[in-house]
Chains A and B, each alone.
Chain A
Amino acid sequence: MSRLDKSADAARGSGPIVPVAGFRVDKRATDAVVWLLLLTMPFWISWIGGYTQLGTRVVILALAAMSLNFLLGYTGVLSFGHAAYFGLGSYGLGLTIKFLVPNTLVGMAIGVATAIVAAAIIGVLIVRLRGIYFAMVTIAFGQVFYFIAYRWNNVTGGDDGLSGWHRMPIDLGFTQIDVLNNDLAFYYVALFCFAVSVGIMALLLRSPFGRTLLAIRENERRARFLGIPVDRHIWLSWLISCTFTGLAGTLYAMLNNFSDPHDLHWEQSGNFVIMAVLGGMRSFWGPLIGSAIFIVLEDYISSRTENWESFIGLFFILIVLFFPRGVLGMIKRKTMQ
């Protein structure tokens, strides 16, 4: 059954040919198409009823979902609390720009560092747990930062979120990128961060270290008896995943010029997981497709009805019951039959 959703394209050495929609397509061609679409998105997104910020949102949340999938799809560990690290990135940046240094790059560095530190500490506590136990503890730990943000009113803005700041133009010394007033420039900055992060993750998955993660996903006992220090590698995978999720969080705060307590909430964690599942967890680009569908749908439904949460909930249920392999999983399965 599941052998059909050919695992880990990025990490397998068995030829770059992947069947898509009846054709056998070169994997490099797929990558090229994806990058081309992303690079040109601001120019065509308005034709299909979108706008630049919506595209930026897709790219940023796709980064978070792909980072989560590094853990979920490629290490086989279920985290349901990734919003915590996303939100820590968001607040780390917001607080830095508002209270410390009005500098975007410093804010991003501090935001990501905050996420890394929290993930490293929590990772030590959870790394020996597995399966639903791991999932439950990540959910619960995720929520602690929400309560801190919610309660620490005079610093974080509590329930109202952290506003009264905005992203600053990025000064590179030789030139300045005006991300503040130019949404297009900000899109490309976000895309640049996305590309670097995704590139690093793809490289890691192709490395011997990445293969040990696959080994752990496939059969933990075997991996342990090969001498792979399983706990340590899960911890590393968790840390890598949370780091890039934190980076996505900093970008998201910059997109909105606002740190939202909802960024930290478990609902956001669930959204990341559904994006990965919807696109296909066993495919490298799956979460990107999932996030695009999810965000466009959410944007559409929430503009039409007050009760969009019910529709999102229904959407979750329908995916789980009828579409569990996700878009790319289904396409692969169809073409292999």
Chain B
Amino acid sequence: MTELILYNVFNGLIIGAFYALMALGLSLILNLSGVINFAHGGFLTLGGYLAFVLVPFVGFWGALLISPFLTAAVGLVIERLMIRPLYGRDPLYSLLLTFGLAFIFEDGTRFIWGPQTLPFSVPIWLQSQLSTEFFFLTGYRVFMVVLATVAVIGLFLILSRTRVGMRIRAGTLDLETVSVLGVNTRVLRTVNFGLGIFLAGLAGVLAAGMLGLQPTTGSELIMPSFVAIIIGGLGSLPGTLLGGLLIGVASGVTSVFFPDASEAVIYVMMGLVLLVRPRGLLGEEGRF
């Protein structure tokens, strides 16, 4: 029993790390640009399929490296062409636009690669079990957690140490002042969007290694990401990270005792958090 719970806690952490990677990207875009990117799951799916296409040419490691950049490039083009004209308008419009994009991503990947699950193979040595006692500790799972951790640390370093990162943070607090200081906020938003989509692409490749490829992966992961952001508190990236991990573990543990509620439990958590702290766990009063 202990092992089963431990297994599910660990599993929950892996899923939580996914949610967090995806939700952090969503959060970045939401905080700076006020856009709820419904197509974020679509970008994630795209990242996985692009890696699938790349593997025969550049191998797993090459695909892992290149695919997030390609996904981000697609994101940059879409931001520039479709989302930029909507800044400053009612958030309803960007929400509807990305909603439409989500349809196209899902249907488009289904059209190109088919509705069936495609296998995505990872290097043999990563598939090995690390311990016979803890059978669930495969190399790939550990690898995913490590990589997600590295990505999150990298993101926070970019935001706290680089010039563009500091501008993004400043812009999140007060975009007008940042623009008065001579920063091109349009470019800043585009770069920030690209950064968010990069994280989605990375999460997509990692997810593909564990779950295989399916057109619906993105739309299945988007809702938990929203919940992660709300639980963590809108406007707070550490909050989003915390929220992602929390709901991952919560649904992992629930699946031991009451598997049918493993999805619903995170919404119950969200309700409780909103009841006690309407701004989310680490959200600040007065923003949003």
By a beta-carbon cutoff of 8 Å, the part of chain A in contact with chain B is 72, 78, 80, 122, 125-126, 128-133, 135-137, 139-141, 143-144, 147-148, 150-152, 266-267, 270, 273-274, 277, 307, 309-310, 312-317, 319-321, 324
Contact = CB atoms under 8 A, between A and B. Distances in A.
Interface stretch (B50-58, B145-153, B224-232): B224-232
Given A125-B274, A143-B223, A277-B96, 6 more contacts: A133-B234, A140-B270, A310-B104, A310-B108, A310-B111, A320-B86
Contacts of B106: 309
A78 B91 contact: yes
Interface in B142-184: none
Interface of B: 30, 34, 36, 38, 82, 85-86, 89-97, 99-104, 106-108, 111, 223, 226-227, 229-230, 234, 260-261, 263-264, 267-268, 270-271, 274-275, 278, 288
Contacts of B234: 132-133, 136
Given A132-B34, A151-B264, A313 B100 contact: yes
Given A140-B267, A321-B82, A152 B96 contact: no
B104 A314 contact: yes
A173 to B, nearest CB: 42
Contacts, number: 123
9 contacts: A78-B95, A125-B275, A129-B278, A132-B234, A133-B288, A140-B227, A141-B267, A144-B268, A320-B94
A274 B230 contact: no
A152 B261 CA distance: 9
B244 to A, nearest CB: 14
B288 A130 contact: yes
A137 B274 contact: yes
A319 B96 contact: yes
A131 B102 CA distance: 21
The interface residues of chain B, by DSSP majority, are classed as: helix
Contacts of B274: 125-126, 137
A320 B223 contact: no
A316 B92 contact: no
Contacts of A317: 82, 97, 100-101, 104
B156 to A, nearest CB: 23
Contacts of A129: 278, 288
A273 B288 contact: no
Contacts of B102: 313
A147 B288 contact: no
Nearest to B96: A320
B270 A147 contact: no
A219 to B, nearest CB: 15
Counting from the closest, the 5 A-B pairs by CB-CB distance are: A316-B100, A313-B103, A144-B267, A313-B104, A309-B107
A307 B97 contact: no
A307 to B, nearest CB: 5
A162 to B, nearest CB: 17
B229 A136 contact: yes
Given A132-B34, A132-B288, A270-B99, A143 B271 contact: no
Given A151-B263, A277-B96, A136 B226 contact: yes
Contacts of B91: 78, 131-132, 135
Given A132-B288, A144-B267, A147-B264, A316 B96 contact: yes
Contacts of B93: 320, 324
Contacts of A136: 36, 226, 229-230, 234
A125 B263 contact: no
B223 A140 contact: yes
Contacts of B271: 122, 125, 141
Nearest to A126: B274
Given A140-B226, A277-B96, A320-B86, A307 B107 contact: yes
